[in-house]
Structure 1
Amino acid sequence: MIEREIATELRERFRRYPFVVVTGPRQSGKTTLCRSVFEQTGCAYVSLDALDRRAQAEADPRGFLASLGTPAIVDEVQHVPDLFSYLKELADLDGRNGQYVLTGSENLKLSGTVRESLAGRASQLRLMPFSLKEMRMAGASTSFGEVAYSGFYPRIINERLEPREVLADYFELYVERDVARMGGVGNLSAFRQFVALCAGRVGTLLDLTSLSDDVGVARSTIRNWLTVLERSYIAFLLAPHHVNVRKRLVKSPKLYFYDVGLVSYLLGIENSRQLVTHPLRGPLFENIVVSEAVKHCYNRGREPRLTFFRDSRGLECDLLYERGHGINAIEAKSGATVTSEWITRMGRVAATVRSITEQTIVYGGDTAMTWRDVGIVPLEGLAEALTGFDSGTQP
């Protein structure tokens, strides 16, 4: 079993806060992470996925927590949201750090479960499916075709399972359990169609009217369903870049999925060979690049500061990765042959967005190079490029 990139940050946060909340998609490895990190500390463990333990926590929360003791891991805590008020009470009485690790498969900030009473007492981390680096550590291929087909869920990678079978079960379980529990989705059949249509729109500007027309539901319903996808860590929106932050909020964002394998499943892709000539090869490659940047930030305990650039003349850049010392403009190109046109367009973007201090092209080839100050890296070189930019050194 490999150690996840976020493990060091988890240990440090637990030392500094009474509670650490670890959220992320189902099957991203939250339970395995927490139990492996704290297995030597005598940390108790309970899962609220188990109906009997959930009933106990709902009926007698004080007794439940007293019997559990500290330190402890409470898994899938979103099932008993009222537990947070009792946790707050314990934190105030005890005053120690390192009391509870709470995990959940919802974005608790979006769901409103983590109430203001936990402000200053809880630190939230997000665990996504494997990064490309973690896939390599697990012995899996990081070639575009294999990655886009299998995705990043640890169970598929570690057990060498057939992705379509696992992802079919995963999606049905997600719809039947998480979506139904969160509420707001009356027509599950239409919701399934909506998610499949979203998969076909990865890397494109969000068009609520088009989705509304295609699914046959109101725009307000589409907005609500997008929130469900965000709450459950299935999809996320990337805002457009603008110097005026308020204007970013009124421009159309782009839509991506956290796991590209789920996108391939929803598109009906049956094997990795289909991805060589698939019409959505480019957007799928772009989805990997953008989601990898998101994971890179989350694994280091940071909120991503990511946008994309597009102007009225059609000049665009897939990803602007921002840190305090500047912006790395990142373009995703699934082709294996570097062209001068790629470099020229990157130069035009850099001349337009003055705060860009570095330029990176992630491409479908396997050799890293530099061309006119533009770093060109294969897919598996992206993490190293981001780390280099984080530290202020050239890749």
Structure 2
Amino acid sequence: MESDSIFYRFCLYSLMINRLAAPKIIQLASHFKSVAVTGPRQSGKTTLVRDLFPGKTYLSLENPDTRRFALEDPRGFLGKYEQGAIFDEVQRAPELFSFLQEMLDESPKTGRFILTGSNNFLLQQNISQTLAGRVATLNLLPFSTEDLFGSQREAPDENELIVKGLYPPIYDPGIPPQDWFPNYLRTYIDRDVRQIKNITDLIVFERFMRLLAGRTGQELNLTSLAVDTGVDTKTVQSWIGILESSFIIHLLRPHFKNFNKTLIKRPKIYFYDTGLVCSLLGINTAEQLSLHPLRGNLFECLVVTELLKKRTNAGKQVNLYYWRDRTGNEVDIVIDNGLSLVPLEIKAGKTVNSQFFKSLSYWNKLSGAQKGYIVYAGSQEEDRSSGISVINWFEMVKRDI
């Protein structure tokens, strides 16, 4: 009967908001004693879990009174919720985890506690130390284009989408991006950054973020960033770790197979949301973006993050890499499926050009791969005899590649 209840909850939820991560969270809750939903601040974690588990008491550890109770008397606090609860921003009360372990071990019941957090490092640190094997984790990023536009056939305008971004508050209640992102950035720096590391000069940290935004889609060069920011490389490395653990940036690692080539070993930088990048760069309209020198990088960022969301929403490991050798040959994305490698080349143009195929043809010959994809902003689709397919970016994110 539990399976009937799970199916009912999913059907009810799907009528309200179509988040593709919903069925995976429900599935995990039916197998594990607890589920942790992590992701950036304002990605919709609280709304999602409260809608999926309406029968559970909700408590936010951001609330000073609730947090004080949890920290001063964790056993008494948890004793009030023996039937289970939703603990939001649970990393704010790390003392709870040891007592949670004891409570979870006392009962075989699944889906008892739902935990959320916007700091992956602190949450995972506590889970690995005390709740390993008892908690399943899913990363919930901002809306995917499938969440918002999956029912329509035509791709949304990529320029408008890049500037607007995909954070939920921009769509409901509909706060204008130029108003929402500066306030989001201020809240993130004042609260999340201070929680992870006591940075004394937050103005310098914000300048660092703006410099990093200008390097979206490029290799991470710690020395260059340190010089431009005016701090040492160890500080830059620490700040990169903060942004990565709080789901602001993703570091795309180079693929490890070298095919007898000397490879670039530095990761590439991508922000999880293009709207935040545009705000940091002062790009406020689609017209400004269309003329901006970083438009190609931002389009690439959009596609990469959509591929990331495809995997995180399904609870899968991220198997995305890039490949570049010392002579400049590069493939934007290599999908490592274990027994096969699938290369993707991302192009912001709307017209298919013979130069689009150069990198993929070289890499396929080198690696022995049988297929590949040109992912671009145009609508024309075709399959070449070489095994390379040309596909629109929005159509690509709907497929399982």
Superposition TM-score, scaled by structure 1 size:
0.92
- The letter for the 1-side match of 2:318 is P
| SS of aligned partner of 2:126 | coil
CA contact (8 A) 1:343 1:371 kept: no
Greater mean alpha carbon deviation, residues 363-372 or residues 73-82: 363-372
Q: Report the Cα offset of residue 37 of structure 1.
A: 1.2
Equivalent of residue 183 in structure 1, options 197, 218, 224: 197
- What CA distance in whole angstroms lies between the structure 2 residues aligned with 1:183 and 1:384? 39
Instruction: From the superposition, tell whether residues 188 and 121 of structure 1 become closer, same or farther in structure 2 (CA, over 3 Å).
Output: same
Distance 2:65 2:264 in 1: 46
Give the whole-Å Cα distance in 1 for the aligned partners of 2:212 and 2:123. Answer: 20
- One-letter amino acid matched to 1:381: E
| Count of residues paired in the alignment | 383
Deviation at 1:161, TM superposition (A): 2.3
The match for 1:274 among 288, 293, 296 is: 288
Compute the displacement of 1:3 (Å). 2.3
Within 5 Å, give how 1:221-232 maps onto structure 2: 221-232=235-246
Residue 107 of structure 1 corresponds to: 120
Verify: 1:37 aligned to 2:52, yes or no. yes
Runs (5+) with no aligned partner, structure 1: 390-395
Q: Which amino acid aligns with 1:63?
A: G
Give the secondary-structure state (helix, strand or coil) at the position aligned to 1:94. Answer: coil
Mean Cα deviation higher: 366-375 or 191-200: 366-375
Partner of 2:277: 263
1:28 positional shift: 0.4
Question: Is this contact kept in 1: 2:264–2:325, CA < 8 A?
Answer: no
Deviation at 1:260, TM superposition (A): 0.7
Q: Distance between the aligned counterparts of 1:7 and 1:61, measured in 2?
A: 30
The amino acid of 1:281's aligned partner reads: R
From 15, 19, 23, the equivalent of 2:34 is: 19
Deviation at 1:249, TM superposition (A): 11
Tell me the secondary structure at the aligned position of residue 129 of structure 1. coil
1:362 aligns with 2:400: no
| Corresponding residue number in structure 1 for 2:106 | 93
Counterparts of residues 329-340 of structure 1 (less than 5 Å):
329-340=343-354
**In 2, are the aligned partners of 1:185 and 1:225 still within 8 Å (CA)?**
no
Match of 1:347 among 356, 361, 365: 361
Partner of 1:114: helix, strand, or coil? helix
Give the RMSD, CA atoms, in angstroms. 2.2
Specify whether residues 325 and 107 from structure 1 end up closer, same or farther in structure 2 by C-alpha distance, changes over 3 A only. Answer: same
- Matched residue type, 1:317: V
**Aligned pairs (5 A) from 1:206-355:** 206-243=220-257, 251-354=265-368
CA contact (8 A) 1:240 1:307 kept: yes
In the alignment, residue 91 of structure 2 is paired with which amino acid?
Q
* Cα offset, 1:103, TM superposition: 0.2
1:142 is matched by which residue type in structure 2? P
- How far apart are the structure 1 equivalents of 2:92 and 2:151? 31
- Bigger shift: residues 199-208 or 56-65: 56-65
Per-residue deviation, 1:367: 3.1
- Summarize the alignment of residues 122-141 of structure 1 with structure 2, pairs less than 5 Å apart: 122-137=135-150
Moved more, 100-109 or 78-87: 100-109
Matched residue type, 2:211: L
Give the counterpart letter for 1:266 in structure 2.
L
Amino acid at match of 1:156: I
Does the CA-based 8 Å contact 1:240-1:251 persist in structure 2?
Answer: yes
In 2, the alpha carbon distance for the partners of 1:120 and 1:291 equals 29
Report the more deviating stretch, 155-164 or 130-139.
Answer: 130-139
CA contact (8 A) 2:252 2:320 kept: yes
What does residue 79 of structure 1 align with? 92
Work out the CA distance in 1 between the residues paired with 2:97 and 2:268. 34
Deviation at 1:360, TM superposition (A): 1.0
- Per the TM alignment, residue 353 of structure 1 is displaced from its structure 2 partner at its CA by 2.5
Distance change >3 Å, CA 350–CA 109, structure 1 → 2: farther
Aligned residue type for 2:104: A
Out of 55, 78, 82, the position equivalent to 2:68 is: 55
Letter in 1 for 2:49: C
Give me the identity figure in percent.
39
State the shift of 1:137 in Å.
4.9
Taking structure 1 as reference, are residues 271 and 250 closer, same or farther at Cα in structure 2, changes over 3 Å only?
closer
Paired amino acid for 2:142 = P
- The one-letter amino acid paired with 2:90 is V
Q: Alpha-carbon deviation of 1:141?
A: 7.4
Q: For 2:130 and 2:105, locate their aligned partners in 1 and report how far apart those are by CA, in whole Å.
A: 10
Taking the aligned partners of 1:331 and 1:311, their CA distance within structure 2 comes to 15
List gaps (5 residues or longer) in structure 2. 1-15
Do the aligned residues in 2 keep the contact of 1:184 with 1:224 (CA within 8 Å)? Answer: no
Provide the secondary structure at the position in 2 that maps to 1:194.
helix
Moved over 4 A (4+): 137-141, 247-250
